[in-house]
Amino acid sequence: MTAKILIADDERAITEGLSAILRDEGYDTEIASDGERALQRLIAEPFGVVLADLKMPKVDGVALLREIRQRGMATECIVISGQGTIRSAVDAVTDGGAFYFIEKPLNAEKLSELKALIKKALESFELKRANRALTTELQTLTHYGELTGQSEAMRSVYSILDAVAPSTASVLILGESGTGKELVARAIHNKSDRAKGPFLALNCAALPKDILENELFGHEKGAFTGSTNEKPGAFEMADGGTLFLDEVGEMATDIQVKLLRALESRSVRRLGGKKEIPVDIRVVAATNKNLQQALEDGELREDLYYRLAVVEIELPPLRDRVGDIKLLATEFLSRFSRENNKKIHSFEDDAIEWILRHNWPGNVRELRNTIESAVIMSKGASIGTTDIIPRRLRAQADTSQATVTITVGATLADARRQMLLRTFSATGGDVEETARTLGVSEREVRDELGSLIGGAAASDREHAAHAAPSNGAAKPVAKAAAAKQKSTEKAKGKAKGRR
């Protein structure tokens, strides 16, 4: 279906005449008598092309074009100008992003030119729309809200979020520090019916017991020494939205009792207060503790756990989603380069190798901070190891480079095999990179790997033959293998003696 065309001009004869001509050509058209009305229609629904006069009341053609671009609309704009506005029309094309301009009066020749322009403009619009749809599709494959990841583990998390976000259920998020638990909570809030309400995050581990209680439930004037004013708590401030309680396992057990009561009754009583205040909130909690151990040790009340964990979401540590590390690193590089006004577009090979090899005990937070520091400290156009490796880890990085230990007495074939396997592992199974590193052809690498696989299969067959008593060939094969092993050990013994 061809996209609609909007004709914006304050001259009725032009709008009605153009509309009739274009309808005869098979186009679906709509008329706007001024720029303001045209903008309202463009906001209400997508148009492929807008034909806009430069001189219109309320909002002129230049302002309309500016709004189209600022709002990120894919609509193409063809400017229609009189003789006195040619310069402005040219500027609208060169500086404002208009598709083209055409000069009044619209005689037969210019109408033919306009029809050709409209056809090209609609093609451009459809291309833009297709590109945006593809970009959106790609985004959904790698992003969910502020979360980034395309690994199977993260796709599983996205699937749970899709199911739980529209519901009213309480959610408990499990995961190590730095895995993005608050981002998950925000994603749940933003995808829910409460998205227009407040999102309030409170770290239960960051506050002493008395202050945490006050932050959660608030207090009345005179509740304690120094309380000269009343203060609403987090429950009241998050009314109509979502309350995120991070590190809920660190909360004192007597506060857990009050929290459970508030969740069950959906109301709170301020410190020093006498009345119950109804609240409409959704609670999303998180902890990095071993839940089973916390329950057994009495650090987390069992009844509160069951109230919070209607749905559990477990976030994987970064070391268990290695496939996401490069994606995250690249995204952080782009973000911090932009924020720091730097033109850094890539990582050097040894830097990305270290990034992929590092264990990231601090998870995504550690990776994010490391990339941000590297961008700030880098003086070049790319990030190298001297930029990316923190000072405390440099000595460790220098001594942990991939090494191969060759036992005295091992054959050259064994040494070659070890070199190939270690390099193949270090490159993440990249045959091309393995060949380049070792200075051999890709075919040699594949042949060697194939022989190893073939050797393993042969070994399995030999073992099966040895294990099957009905196979008459098993004994000779086993004896031959034993003799070969004995001969090898004897040769190694002699080599050791000579040393």
pTM for the whole thing?
0.57
Provide the pLDDT confidence category of residue 313 given band limits of 50, 70 and 90.
Answer: very high
Higher pLDDT, 165 or 485: 165
Provide the pLDDT confidence category of residue 135 given band limits of 50, 70 and 90.
Answer: low
**Residue 163 and residue 145: Cα distance in Å, rounded?**
15
Exposed e or buried b per residue across 251-283, where buried means at least 16 C-beta atoms within 10 angstroms of its C-beta? beeebbebbbebbeeeebbbbebeeebebebbb
Report, as an integer, the average pLDDT of 65-84: 82
Note whether 442 and 433 are within 8 A (CB). no
Is residue 162 predicted with pLDDT exceeding 50?
A: yes
Q: Which of 110-114, 456-460, 466-470, 490-494 has the highest mean pLDDT?
A: 110-114
CA distances from 179 to 135, 182, 301, 339, 379 (A): 26, 9, 24, 23, 30
* Window from 85-94, 181-190, 340-349 with minimum mean pLDDT: 85-94
**Residue 104 and residue 81: Cα distance in Å, rounded?**
6
Q: Which of 91-95, 117-121, 396-400 has the highest mean pLDDT?
A: 117-121
State which amino acid sits at residue 170. S
Higher pLDDT, 134 or 329: 329
What confidence score (pLDDT) does residue 326 get?
Answer: 93
State which amino acid sits at residue 251. M
- Determine if the peptide bond prior to 105 is cis (ω within 30°): yes
Provide the pLDDT confidence category of residue 464 given band limits of 50, 70 and 90.
Answer: very low
Report, as an integer, the average pLDDT of 276-295: 93
Q: Tell me the per-residue pLDDT of 387-431, one tens digit each, with 9 for 90 and over.
A: 998 877 765 555 445 556 666 666 777 778 778 877 877 776 788
Is residue 441 predicted with pLDDT exceeding 90?
A: no
* Mean pLDDT, the chain, whole residue set: 83
Q: Tell me the per-residue pLDDT of 315-341, one tens digit each, with 9 for 90 and over.
A: 999 999 988 999 999 999 999 999 999
What confidence score (pLDDT) does residue 482 get?
Answer: 40
What confidence score (pLDDT) does residue 499 get?
Answer: 40
Q: How many CA atoms lie within 13 Å of 497's alpha carbon, on the beta-carbon side?
A: 6
- Contacting residues for 288 by C-beta, under 8 A, at least 6 apart: 174, 175, 176, 177, 181, 247, 249
Report, as an integer, the average pLDDT of 339-346: 92
Provide the pLDDT confidence category of residue 202 given band limits of 50, 70 and 90.
Answer: very high
Provide the pLDDT confidence category of residue 469 given band limits of 50, 70 and 90.
Answer: very low
What confidence score (pLDDT) does residue 224 get?
Answer: 82
- Contacting residues for 184 by C-beta, under 8 A, at least 6 apart: 147, 157, 161, 173, 286, 313, 315
Helix (H) or strand (E) holding 133: helix 108-142
306 CA to centre of own chain = 30
Is residue 277 predicted with pLDDT exceeding 90?
A: yes
What confidence score (pLDDT) does residue 7 get?
Answer: 92
* 100 phi and psi angles, rounded to 5 deg: -170, 175
Q: Which of 7-16, 125-134, 329-338 has the highest mean pLDDT?
A: 329-338
* Window from 17-21, 80-84, 408-412, 445-449 with minimum mean pLDDT: 80-84
Note whether 218 and 270 are within 8 A (CB). yes
**What domains can you pick out in the chain, each with its CATH number?**
5-138 (3.40.50.2300), 155-316 (3.40.50.300), 321-397 (1.10.8.60), 412-498 (no CATH)
Q: Tell me the per-residue pLDDT of 237-257, one tens digit each, with 9 for 90 and over.
A: 999 999 999 999 999 999 999
